[in-house]
């Protein structure tokens, strides 16, 4: 009995651990902390600083000169961070566009392959529209013209 | 069931080793199949350990006295809820299992919530957590199994220590464990950052939140423990500088230091090495604390379970600390500061001072804790340090911290000059002095409590006025009343104002400590039935004694006291002593009368003993001013920490917006 329990748990364990190893390999995107995360954190921290600065001025902890100097400094930092963020997001968007394009191309190629494949095995062409048709087809798959 | 439990633990040990290796290897070689498998390992470990815990609980509930844990820590007449279940962590092997279980639950949550968002770090995080789990699973499998059998099966168990049979004892250990164990998570994140070399700021928000959670639990655990001591131990106090209390306080102090200095890193990119150091120290201290409780090296009221695993623990602490420190040195070049300190009177500098003080307090306590060992090595005689040492050293350091708490709200990030600061201090100082004068009028006359009041009042005024002035500034632009404006303010900036609320609750708690320690009184008087005793304006009438009434496992002797104030009966108090035959143990049951207006004071009475065949009974009466503020401050601490933990609404929205525009939520990897 004990032995059976042990065996059962062990088997379940091995299955759970081994499962990911036999899955098809997916592209390992973003295995380093993305620059974007970092830039977002940087931007948030500058925003927080600005917010605190604003509060500090409202509460009279800073005089105008100090406030202006620091505000300028943070604004510059924010501008740099935002520009980098834009660039990173642009890259992201470009990647997205690329991926979409790739997919479109793949899809078209697939249909094209099917068509050529069909053309290879084609028994003839539709008399009405000229589409390649298989030997067993009774009607044209494109225009529905009777083939017999 | 027993077999199922021990098999689960054994397999869990190997799963831990595997996941550690797979996580590390997968991350280093960039093999996602392996890291995914390691993640499954973490989840599986949780399932296996949970199975073991369930099996042990089943054994406890079904009173399976063939297990030594069940036989030694429970008995047939122990109520199932909650005390039979609490027996789970009463023994050493049970508490190690409990530790591992809590860590597994933490790791489950971390893995499920962060696996995608912190993809680069998580395999390392999993590996580090599993390294710690390997150690615990090793102890549980090979050294001290919670499923160890008795050689002879007794008819009934030995029962649970009577002083642990208290509702708060169902709460105190789990809270402390949640705190202790939880520090593994920030440690794992820190190590993951060092291992992967991803030492930028992206993980700081994550690590801050995962430090706040155990920090909150540890603080609560300490407070619940204090309340338990106050309600049960019958010495009128709540904190005794016991080595085990201290070992929970030390990581809390270091964690507090980290929570402050991490802000400097977020804002300025400074103190990176220092912060890493603090995380390592906090984690090492939690393991060291466990070592203290478990080893029996140091005498403590908490040594409920002593054993021989002390050396193993010490070895593990040393190994982990050394490895972590080595790793830190290895990555030093990546941890250089992004900025310099601008001015001497800036938040950054004062945060650094605050850090030094917090760390100093932790070190001072550590020296006190290990003094018996140190003195034995140095002089050959075992010397212990007591409350006077701690009160003096830690008291002075805390006074410095409170002073900083008062000054920091007055200055912004980046800095100010001392001249400006002086100018801003005038009003708060004036108010603080006025409050101190009020305390003087109310009867506080000794210099040290008055100084403490002045410091607390100063910090209270500057912190409070920061919230108040910001709310007023908000009112100018909105039509809200002051209350609405304050609520909105806190709701929109959880971190800043939640933090201030934590400060206020700590100040309230500190006022409770000062009041109850500086002006506590402690008197003993023997009374015969019908006799009266007047003290502190209360007249206590001893109305009789009911000796040795059986109640559950115990025989209880109860005294009845009528409390009169200004000739009016205000309360009937019934302090008692119960005698537990099985354990041959006597437990005092104090009674407490909270004299209500403004949490004025507690009247705390215990029966000390009797003579003349129950005819003369000796009572000990404590009067503890302001002690209720300690618990009030504790509750506020809980509420404000929870507020602080929630992400600010606008930060959350901004982040979501930014992410929504990206491919599948992820940006392109960094090259």
Residue spans of the domains in chain A: they are: 33-120
Strand partners, B624: B602
Partner B, chain A 89-148, Cβ-Cβ below 8 Å: 89, 91-93, 95-96, 99
Residue B79 lies in a domain: yes
A115 falls in which pLDDT band (50, 70, 90)? low
Q: In 3-state terms, what secondary structure has residue B493?
A: coil
A124 vs B330 pLDDT, higher one: B330
Do residues B176 and B225 lie in contact, with contact meaning Cβ atoms separated by under 8 Å? yes
Residue of B209, B414, B498 to mutate, interface with A, max A Cβ within 10 Å: B414
Among B66, B81, B64, B87, smallest CA distance to B160 is for: B87
SS3 (DSSP) at A55: helix
- Asked if A32 has any chain B CB less than 8 Å from its own CB, the reply is yes
Question: Which of B613, B628, B643 is the last residue before a domain boundary?
Answer: B628
Residue B598 domain-assigned (yes or no) = yes
Phi/psi of residue B625, nearest 5 degrees: -70, 145
Task: Name the domain count of chain B.
Answer: 2
Tell me which chain A residue has its CA closest to the CA of residue B39. Answer: A17
Cα three-residue angle B303-B81-B145, rounded to 5 degrees:
45
Domain contains B643: no
Establish if B568 belongs to a structural domain.
yes
Does B388 lie at the interface with A, CB-CB under 8 angstroms?
no
Residue B202 contacts A where some CB pair is shorter than 8 Å: yes
pLDDT value of residue B547: 86
How far is residue B670 from each of residues A31, A145, B427, measured CA to CA in Å?
9, 57, 52
Weakly modelled stretches of chain B, pLDDT under 50? 661-671
pLDDT of A35 > 70? The answer is no
CA distance A92 to B665: 10
Band (A129; pLDDT cuts 50, 70, 90)? confident
Given B22, B412, B664, which is nearest A62 (Cβ)?
A: B412
Residues in CB range of B49: below 8 A, 6 or more apart: B8, B9, B12, B97, B100, B101, B104
Instruction: Please name every residue paired with B532 in a beta bridge, in sequence order, or none if there are none.
Output: B541
Chain B residues whose CB is inside 8 A of the A51 CB are 493
A41–B204 C-beta distance less than 8 A: yes
Total Cβ atoms within 10 A of residue B653 = 11
Q: Does A34 touch chain B (CB under 8 A)?
A: yes
- Say what the alpha-carbon torsion angle A136, A138, A139, A145 is, to the nearest 10 degrees: 130
pLDDT at B635: 95
pLDDT at B656: 66
Q: Do A33 and B493 touch (CB under 8 A)?
A: no
pLDDT at A21: 86
Give contacts of B 134-153 with A, CB under 8 A.
none
Cα distance between residue A134 and residue A136, in whole Å:
6
Cβ contacts of B466 within 8 Å, gap of 6 or more: A59, B409, B500
Task: Round the CA-based radius of gyration of chain B to a whole number and report it.
Answer: 27
Q: How many CB pairs under 8 A join A and B?
A: 173
- In-domain check, residue B17: yes
Please give the residue range of the domain that contains residue B23: 1-165
- What does the pLDDT average to over A113-129? 69
Q: Pick from B201, B203, B249, B198: which is nearest to B223 by CA?
A: B249
B619 part of a folded domain: yes
With an 8 Å Cβ cutoff, are B34 and A55 in contact? no
Q: CA–CA distance from B645 to each of B210, B444, B463, B501, B641 (Å)?
A: 9, 38, 19, 12, 6
Q: Is residue B552 part of a domain?
A: yes
Measured between CA atoms, the residue of chain A closest to residue B653 is: A44
Nearest CA to CA, how far is A118 from chain B (Å)? 36
- Domain end among B165, B193, B215: B165
Neighboring chain A residues of B196 at a CB cutoff of 8 Å: 32-33
Is the backbone peptide bond immediately before B541 cis, with ω within 30 degrees of 0? no
pLDDT at A116: 65
In angstroms, the separation between the Cα of residue A65 and the nearest Cα of chain B is: 12
Whether B479 and B414 have beta carbons less than 8 Å apart is answered as: no
Which pLDDT score, from 0 to 100, does residue A65 have?
79
pLDDT(A63) > 90: no
pLDDT at B662: 46
CB contact under 8 A, B33 and A13: no
Q: Under DSSP, is residue B641 helix (H, G, I), strand (E, B) or coil?
A: helix
The set of residues, in sequence order, having a beta carbon less than 8 Å from that of B343 and lying 6+ positions away, is B349, B414, B415, B416, B417
State residue B627 phi and psi, 5-degree precision: -65, -25
Q: Tens digit of pLDDT for each residue in B441-470?
A: 988 889 999 999 999 999 999 999 989 988
Alpha helices for B336-386 (secondary structure H) = 347-379
pLDDT for the residue B663: 41
Give the pLDDT score at B147.
93
DSSP 3-state of B116: coil
Residue A113 clears pLDDT 90, i.e. is over it:
no
Residue whose pair of structure tokens reads 């050493």 in the numeric block: B92
For residues A72-92, average pLDDT: 82
Query: Phi/psi zone of residue B649: left (φ > 0), alpha (ψ -120 to 50 degrees), beta?
Result: alpha
CA B388 to chain centre: 23
């Amino acid at each position: 009995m004990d032995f059976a329990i042990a065996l059962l748990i062990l088997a379940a364990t091995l299955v759970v651990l081994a499962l990911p190893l036999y899955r098809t390999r997916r592209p390992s995107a973003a295995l380093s902390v993305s620059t974007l995360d970092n830039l977002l954190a940087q931007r948030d921290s500058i925003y927080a600083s600005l917010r605190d600065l604003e509060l500090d001025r409202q509460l009279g902890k800073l005089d105008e000169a100090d406030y202006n100097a620091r505000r300028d400094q943070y604004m510059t930092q924010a501008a740099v961070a935002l520009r980098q963020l834009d660039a990173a997001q642009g890259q992201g968007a470009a990647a997205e566009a690329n991926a979409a394009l790739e997919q479109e191309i793949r899809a078209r190629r697939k249909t094209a392959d099917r068509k050529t494949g069909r053309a290879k095995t084609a028994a003839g062409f539709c008399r009405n529209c000229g589409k390649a048709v298989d030997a067993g087809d009774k009607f044209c798959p494109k225009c529905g013209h009777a083939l017999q | 069931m027993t077999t199922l439990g021990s098999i689960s633990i054994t397999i869990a040990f190997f799963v831990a080793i595997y996941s550690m290796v797979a996580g590390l290897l997968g991350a280093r070689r960039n093999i996602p199949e392996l890291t995914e498998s390691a993640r499954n390992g973490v989840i599986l470990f949780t399932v296996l350990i949970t199975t073991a815990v369930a099996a042990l609980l089943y054994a406890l509930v079904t009173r399976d006295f063939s297990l030594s844990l069940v036989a030694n820590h429970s008995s047939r007449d122990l109520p199932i809820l909650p005390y039979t279940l609490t027996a789970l962590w009463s023994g050493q092997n049970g508490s190690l299992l409990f530790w591992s279980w809590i860590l597994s639950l933490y790791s489950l949550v971390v893995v499920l919530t962060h696996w995608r968002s912190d993809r680069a770090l998580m395999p390392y995080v999993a590996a580090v957590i599993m390294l710690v789990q390997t150690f615990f699973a090793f102890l549980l499998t090979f050294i001290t199994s919670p499923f160890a059998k008795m050689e002879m099966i007794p008819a009934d168990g030995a029962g649970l220590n009577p002083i642990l049979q208290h509702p708060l004892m169902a709460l105190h250990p789990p809270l402390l464990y949640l705190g202790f164990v939880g520090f593994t998570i920030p440690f794992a994140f820190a190590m993951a950052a060092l291992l992967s070399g991803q030492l930028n700021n992206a993980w700081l928000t994550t690590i801050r939140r995962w430090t706040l959670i155990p920090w909150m639990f540890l603080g609560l655990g300490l407070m619940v423990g204090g309340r338990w001591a106050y309600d049960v131990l019958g010495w009128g106090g709540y904190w005794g500088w016991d080595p085990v209390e201290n070992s929970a306080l030390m990581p809390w102090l270091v964690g507090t230091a980290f929570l402050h200095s991490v802000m400097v890193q977020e804002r300025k990119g400074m103190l990176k090495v220092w912060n890493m150091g603090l995380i390592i120290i906090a984690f090492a201290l939690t393991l060291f604390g466990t070592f203290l409780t478990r080893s029996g090296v140091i005498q403590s009221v908490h040594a409920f379970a002593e054993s021989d695993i002390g050396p193993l623990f010490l070895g593990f602490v040393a190994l982990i600390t050394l490895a972590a420190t080595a790793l830190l040195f290895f990555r030093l070049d990546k941890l250089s500061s992004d900025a310099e300190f601008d001015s001497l009177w800036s938040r950054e500098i004062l945060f650094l001072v605050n850090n030094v003080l917090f760390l100093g307090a932790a070190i001072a306590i550590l020296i006190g804790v290990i003094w018996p060992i140190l003195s034995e090595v140095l002089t050959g005689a075992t010397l212990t340090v007591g409350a006077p040492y701690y009160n003096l050293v830690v008291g002075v350091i805390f006074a410095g911290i409170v002073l900083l708490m008062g000054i920091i709200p007055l200055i912004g990030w980046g800095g100010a000059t001392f001249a400006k600061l002086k100018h801003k201090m005038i009003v708060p100082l004036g108010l603080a002095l006025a409050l101190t004068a009020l305390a003087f009028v109310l009867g506080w006359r000794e210099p040290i409590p008055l100084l403490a009041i002045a410091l607390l009042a100063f910090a209270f005024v500057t912190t409070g006025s920061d919230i108040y002035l910001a709310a007023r500034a908000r009112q100018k632009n909105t039509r809200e009343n002051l209350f609405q404006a304050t609520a909105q303010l806190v709701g929109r900036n959880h971190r800043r104002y939640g933090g201030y609320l934590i400060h206020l609750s700590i100040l309230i708690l500190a006022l409770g400590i000062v009041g109850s320690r500086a002006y506590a009184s402690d008197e003993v008087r023997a009374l015969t039935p019908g006799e009266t005793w007047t003290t502190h304006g209360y007249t206590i009438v001893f109305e009789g004694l009911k000796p040795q009434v059986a109640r559950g496992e115990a025989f209880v002797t109860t005294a009845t006291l009528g409390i009169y104030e200004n000739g009016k009966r205000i309360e009937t108090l019934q302090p008692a002593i119960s005698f537990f035959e099985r354990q041959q143990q006597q437990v005092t049951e104090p009674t407490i009368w909270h004299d209500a207006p403004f949490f004025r004071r507690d009247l705390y009475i215990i029966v000390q003993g009797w003579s003349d065949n129950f005819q003369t009974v000796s009572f000990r009466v404590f009067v503890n001013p302001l002690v209720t503020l300690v618990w009030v401050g504790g509750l506020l601490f809980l509420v404000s920490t929870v507020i602080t933990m929630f992400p600010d609404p606008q930060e959350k929205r901004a982040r979501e917006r930014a992410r929504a525009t990206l491919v599948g939520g992820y940006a392109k990897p960094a090259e």
